[in-house]
Chains A and B, each alone.
Chain A
Amino acid sequence: MELLDNLALGFSVAFSLQNLTYALLGCLLGTLIGVLPGIGPVATIAMLLPITFHLPPTASLIMLAGIYYGAAYGGSTTSILVNLPGEASSVVTCLDGYQMARNGRAGAALSISAVGSFFAGTVGTVIIVLFAEPLTRMAQKFGPADYCSLMALGLVAAVILASGSVVKAIAMIFLGLLFGLVGTDVNTGAQRFTFDIPELSDGIDFAPIAMGLFGIAEIVVNLERHLTRTGGTIKVTSLWPTMEEVRRAVPAALRGTFLGAALGVLPGGGPTLGAFSSYTLEKKISKNPGQFGKGAVEGVAAPEAANNAAAQTSFIPMLTLGIPSNAVMALMVGAMIIQGIQPGPEVMTKKPDLFWGMIASMWIGNAMLVIINLPMIGIWVKLLTVPYRFLAPAILLFCCIGAYSLQNSTFHVMQVAIFGILGYVFVKLGCEGAPFLLGLVLGPQMEEYFRRAMLLSRGDAMVFLQRPISLGLLITTGVLLLLMALPSFKRARKEAFVEEEG
Chain B
Amino acid sequence: MNRFLSKDFLSGLMFIGFGLIALYFGQKLAIGTPVRMGPGYVPRMLSLILIGLGILVCIVAIVSGSEPVERLKWKPITLVTIGIICFGLLFERAGLIPALVVLIMISSLAGEEFKFMEVIGNIVVLSVLCTLVFKVGLGMNINVLHGVW
Residues in A lying within 8 Å of B, measured CB to CB: 165, 167-168, 170-171, 174-175, 177-178, 181, 185, 187-188, 190, 192-193, 195, 216, 219-220, 223-224, 226, 388-390, 392-394, 396-397, 399-401, 404-405, 408, 410, 413-414, 416-417, 420-421, 424-425, 428-431, 447, 450-451, 454-455, 458-461
Contact = CB atoms under 8 A, between A and B. Distances in A.
Contacts of B134: 401, 405
Given A389-B111, A417-B84, A421-B77, A454 B37 contact: yes
B84 A192 contact: no
Contacts of B35: 454-455, 458-459
B98 interface: no
A219 B18 contact: no
B interface, how many residues as a size bin? Answer: 35 or more
A186 B32 CA distance: 15
A219 B89 CA distance: 21
Given A389-B108, A394-B126, A413 B80 contact: no
Nearest to B90: A410
B49 interface: yes
Nearest to B122: A390
Contacts of B43: 178, 181, 192-193
Given A181-B42, A226-B112, A410 B89 contact: yes
Contacts of A396: 80, 83-84, 103, 107
A326 to B, nearest CB: 22
A455 to B, nearest CB: 6
A220 B37 CA distance: 42
Contacts of A430: 7-8, 11, 67
Chain B interface, >50% SS class? helix
Contact of A400 (B36, B66, B103, B113): B103
Nearest to A193: B25
Nearest to B34: A459
A97 B65 CA distance: 37
Interface in B36-85: 36-43, 46-47, 49-50, 53-54, 56-57, 60, 66-67, 69-70, 72-73, 76-77, 80-81, 83-85
B56 to A, nearest CB: 6
Given A167-B60, A223-B111, A178 B85 contact: no
B145 interface: no
B21 to A, nearest CB: 9
A410 B39 contact: no
A192 B80 CA distance: 30
A167 B53 contact: yes
A390 B35 CA distance: 57
B50 A174 contact: yes
Contacts of B67: 430
A3 B143 CA distance: 50
B59 to A, nearest CB: 10
Contacts of A404: 88, 91, 142
A165 B60 contact: yes
A400 B130 CA distance: 12
Contacts of A192: 26, 29, 39-40, 43
19 contacts: A165-B66, A171-B11, A171-B50, A175-B50, A192-B40, A195-B25, A390-B118, A394-B104, A396-B80, A396-B103, A400-B88, A400-B103, A404-B142, A408-B141, A417-B84, A425-B14, A429-B8, A429-B11, A430-B11
Given A178-B50, A389-B108, A410 B92 contact: yes
B14 A429 contact: yes
Nearest 6 pairs between A and B by C-beta?
A459-B34, A413-B88, A459-B35, A190-B39, A185-B39, A171-B53
A384 to B, nearest CB: 18
Given A171-B57, A397-B130, A414 B88 contact: yes
Given A193-B22, A410-B88, A451-B37, 17 more contacts: A171-B11, A174-B46, A174-B50, A175-B50, A190-B30, A193-B25, A220-B76, A220-B110, A226-B112, A390-B118, A393-B108, A396-B84, A428-B70, A429-B10, A429-B69, A451-B41, A461-B34
Nearest to A427: B70
A388 B107 CA distance: 12
Contacts of B122: 390, 393-394
Contacts of B85: 413-414, 417
Contact of A421 (B60, B81, B118): B81
A447 B30 CA distance: 16
A430 B7 CA distance: 6
Residue with the greatest number of chain B CB neighbours at <10 A, chosen from A174, A388, A428: A174
Contacts of A177: 46
A216 B36 contact: no
B140 interface: yes
Contacts of A459: 33-35
A216 B140 contact: no
Nearest to A185: B39
A451 B33 CA distance: 11
A460 B34 CA distance: 8
Nearest to B35: A459
B107 A167 contact: no
Given A401-B134, A429-B14, A220 B92 contact: no
Contact of B80 (A168, A171, A220): A220
